[in-house]
Each structure stands twice: as structure tokens, then as C-alpha cells.
Structure 1
Amino acid sequence: MLKTSWSMWIIGACSVLALAVAIERAIALWGFAANARAVADAVVRALLRGDLDEARAECERSPSPAADVFLAGLAAAVRRGPRGAAPDEDKIDAAVERERQQVNLRLRRNVWVLGTVGAIAPFIGLFGTVVGIMQAFRHMAATGQGGFTVVASGISEALVATAGGIAVAIEAVVIYNFLNVHVQKLALQLKLVVEEFLETLHDALPTATAARPAAEPRPAREA
């Protein structure tokens, strides 16, 4: 890098950035499916017993992002409608779906960086090569010496930038494709456990809500 153009420093920074994103995503996604399955099983068992409070407690104890999705559904399930009416199942489904989409966005956080690095790294390397060749020919014109041997060294150093850009692009694209497929798989697994949770919640809701005391209406304000 010390013998090449400034473009190699940019390419090196892109390589470090791609590795940093890959490590950060690997840590963030590690154990996601297992944790989601564990909290889903615990919540479903509590719902089968009709215990909404225990289901909520299981979610609060879990570190899984899936627990946030279940909490949104449980919060909507205990929210009474007008005049103490039963909770609306459509509103429960909507609350769960909104939170699930938020989790999907968090799963894909920073993955776009890898796609960007994979797209621009070859062009950065090519630009550095073009600038290096221009400088080599400019040096030949300034010294008045001709021949390929005069510019061979400068051109060979300039071509290193193109090779470096291609290498970093391959690295970034491979990691991007792997993470993209992995995130899609995790999103599908999350959707399956959420659908199982909703089915169990809807079945247990009449019994569970009947056992919970309805909120007393607030007294009317005096005029």
C-alpha cells in the first residue's frame, strides 16, 4: 500500500469495513433462531394454560427479539375495547405484524454496506489504476525518455489497485450474499413462530380474558 496510490488506502478501508460489518452481523444473528424457538415454546405453554401474565413474564426474561413481537401481541390482547368489550383479533394481528416487520429491519441492519462495498470497490481500483498510468506517462513526457521500460514500473504498481479493488469486491459480495440468504431464512423462521403464537393466543384468548377482571369505568367528572 505504501508503494501504490491513495486508492489502495480507500480499498483497504473498504475491506476493513466489510469485515467489521460481517463480524457485527454474525454476533447479532448468532443464536437468533434457537432463542426465538425457546421463547415461543415457553409463551405457547403459558397460553395453553390460559396464563397471560406468565406468558408476558417469559417474554420479558428472554433476550430474543422475537419476545418483543410476542409482547406486542400480549399487550393488544389485554387491551379491552369500548365498554369492556373483548379485544379485537384484527388489532392483535396488526400489532404483532408491525413489531415483526421492525425485527426484520433490525435483522438486515448494515447489510447494505456490504452491497455498496462490493459495487464500488472495483471502480475505486480502476480509477486508481487510470490515475497511476496517467502519472507514469506524465513522468515519461517530463523526462523526455521513451519506451515501455520507463513506464513499466509505474503501470505495474497502478494495476495493483485494480487487483485490490476486485479482491475486496469479491469478499464483500460473498459475505453479502451469505448474510442475505441467512437473514431471509431467519425472517421465515420468525414468521412461522409468530403464526404459531397467534393461533395459540386466539384460541386461549376467550378463557384468559374471562379470568382477568375488566377495568372499571372511570367516574364521570363533575360539572
Structure 2
Amino acid sequence: MNQDMSIIQLVLHASFVVQIVMLILLAGSIASWAAIFRKLRAIKGIQAHNEEFERDFWSGTSLNDLYATAAQNARHGGPMERIFASGMREYQKLRERRIADPGTLLDGARRAMRASFQREMDAAEVNLSFLASVGSVSPYVGLFGTVWGIMHAFIGLGALQQVTLATVAPGIAEALVATALGLFAAIPAVVAYNRFARDIDRIAIQQETFIEEFSNILQRNLGVQQPSSQSATPTGY
């Protein structure tokens, strides 16, 4: 390819509208890559925190000690730890109000954990909609740039007496760069979206499983407690 047909020259000689389209696609690609790296780091952090908390949870540590640690790590802990803390907090509040009905205690803790779970999933899904939009819209934006560029090229060729491949090729090539940029922006966004959606689904299943397991632990502990017991938290497994 000679100098006049290089990518840079094609972009510089494209029509103004096509250049705007290319700029939009380039900005979208940069923003999507930034979102991809942020989301990749966030998901790895979530997985690491959840695995660490699960190890502590099943290590035999008392629920009181786990809750004390979770309360201290409210901002720096993982989603599963915050879900656990929400359930224990509600459980303790109900016990402090002298509520002894096991069903009420269990339902309150479960509702608190489900609400915390939803908040954590909303936070985990941040930027997913942006990646989906880039992946679905970018090819059409690039196609618009290509159609506009080809239309502009043929309008210019209409004034020529003799049309050859050498006169047609540059205009067509300039227009096709917009399609290439659209695909360049869309493909990584689609791949990343599918990967992150799958990872977040696994995290959701893991956390829902934990909610059920912790609810079963509370239910067993409530079942063996006497109505006159003043214990604030379950301590056994």
C-alpha cells in the first residue's frame, strides 16, 4: 500500500461526517477498554474476597467473631461478607427487641440478606450495560459512516468525465475505515460483556447458595434454643 492509501491518510482525507463518526467510534473503543479493565479488576476482587470469607466462615470461627470482623470491614470487605453482616445485623436487632419467634427472626435475616444481595449485584453489574451498548451500536455507527462516505465519494465522481478504479478506490477505502473502526470497537466489548456476564452469574449463584446455607444454620440454631435464652447471636454450626 502506498503512502496515499495508508490508514492515516485515508482518515485525514475522509469527509467531515465520516471523520466525526470515526472519532466517536475511537472514543467509544477507548472508553470500553477502560471499562473492561476496571470490570476485570473488580470481578477478580469480588471473587478473591468471597473465597477468603467462605474459608473463614467454614473454618469453625464463631458467628459472633465473624460478624465483628465483617462490621470492621464494611467498606473494604467483599459482597458475601456484607451480605452476612446484613443478616446478622437484622437478626441481632430483632433479638434486642425481644422477638423470640424463630420464623420472624429467620425471615427478617433472610430479607436483609436478599436486599444486600440485590445491592451487591447492582454494583457488580456496573458498566455491563455500557459494554452491551458499545457492542451492539458500534457496527451500525460504522456502517452509517461507510454509507455516508460512499455516497460522498460517488457524488464527487459524478463530476468526472472518466472514472477508473484509481479514482473510485480511495473514496471507497476511506468509507470502509469507518466500518473497520466500528468492528474494532464492537468485538472486544461483546466478548468482554459475555465473559463478565458469565462471571457475574457465577458470583450470584455463589452468593445465593451462601444465603441459603447461612439461613439453614440460623434455622438449626433457632430450633435448639430455648424461648428464655438471652443469647444475641447463634454460635454453633
Identity value in percent: 29
Q: Which runs of 5+ in 2 are unaligned?
A: 1-10
Q: How does 1:88-127 map to 2 (within 5 A)?
A: 88-127=105-144
Q: How does 1:69-88 map to 2 (within 5 A)?
A: 69-80=83-94, 84-86=98-100, 88=105
SS of 1:191's equivalent?
Answer: helix
* Contact residue 135 and residue 185 of structure 2 kept, 8 A: yes
Deviation at 1:77, TM superposition (A): 0.8
TM-score of the superposed pair, with normalisation by structure 1: 0.82
Structure 1 residues 189 and 135, CA gap change in structure 2 (3 angstroms): same
**Could you tell me which residue of structure 1 aligns to residue 7 of structure 2?**
none
Quote the Cα distance in structure 2 between the aligned partners of 1:14 and 1:83: 53
Deviation at 1:70, TM superposition (A): 1.0
Once superposed, which parts of structure 1, at least 4 consecutive aligned residues long, lie more than 6 Å away? none
**Could you tell me which residue of structure 2 aligns to residue 26 of structure 1?**
40
Query: Are 1:15 and 2:26 an aligned pair?
Result: no
Deviation at 1:192, TM superposition (A): 1.9
Shifted more, 165-174 versus 144-153: the winner is 144-153
Deviation per CA, 1:21-62: give whole Å up to 9, x if none: 110101111132232132244345344xxx53x222121344
TM-score of the superposed pair, with normalisation by structure 2: 0.78
Shifted more, 103-112 versus 147-156: the winner is 147-156
Quote the Cα distance in structure 1 between the aligned partners of 2:82 and 2:96: 26
Quote the Cα distance in structure 2 between the aligned partners of 1:83 and 1:73: 16
Q: How does 1:1-223 map to 2 (within 5 A)?
A: 1-4=11-14, 5-6=18-19, 7-43=21-57, 45-47=60-62, 52=64, 54-62=65-73, 63-80=77-94, 84-86=98-100, 88-141=105-158, 143-148=159-164, 149-205=166-222, 210-212=230-232
* Contact residue 106 and residue 218 of structure 2 kept, 8 A: no
* Contact residue 96 and residue 232 of structure 2 kept, 8 A: no
Quote the Cα distance in structure 2 between the aligned partners of 1:108 and 1:212: 35
Quote the Cα distance in structure 2 between the aligned partners of 1:119 and 1:155: 24
SS of 1:2's equivalent?
Answer: helix
Quote the Cα distance in structure 1 between the aligned partners of 2:66 and 2:95: 21
Quote the Cα distance in structure 1 between the aligned partners of 2:97 and 2:71: 29
SS of 2:67's equivalent?
Answer: helix
Shifted more, 168-177 versus 84-93: the winner is 84-93
Quote the Cα distance in structure 1 between the aligned partners of 2:118 and 2:87: 13
Quote the Cα distance in structure 1 between the aligned partners of 2:97 and 2:67: 25
Deviation at 1:120, TM superposition (A): 0.8
**Could you tell me which residue of structure 2 aligns to residue 219 of structure 1?**
none
Structure 1 residues 212 and 35, CA gap change in structure 2 (3 angstroms): same
Deviation at 1:199, TM superposition (A): 2.1
Deviation at 1:147, TM superposition (A): 1.2
Q: Which amino acid aligns with 1:90?
A: D
* Contact residue 33 and residue 190 of structure 1 kept, 8 A: no
Q: Which amino acid aligns with 1:130?
A: V
Aligned length: 208
Deviation at 1:159, TM superposition (A): 1.1
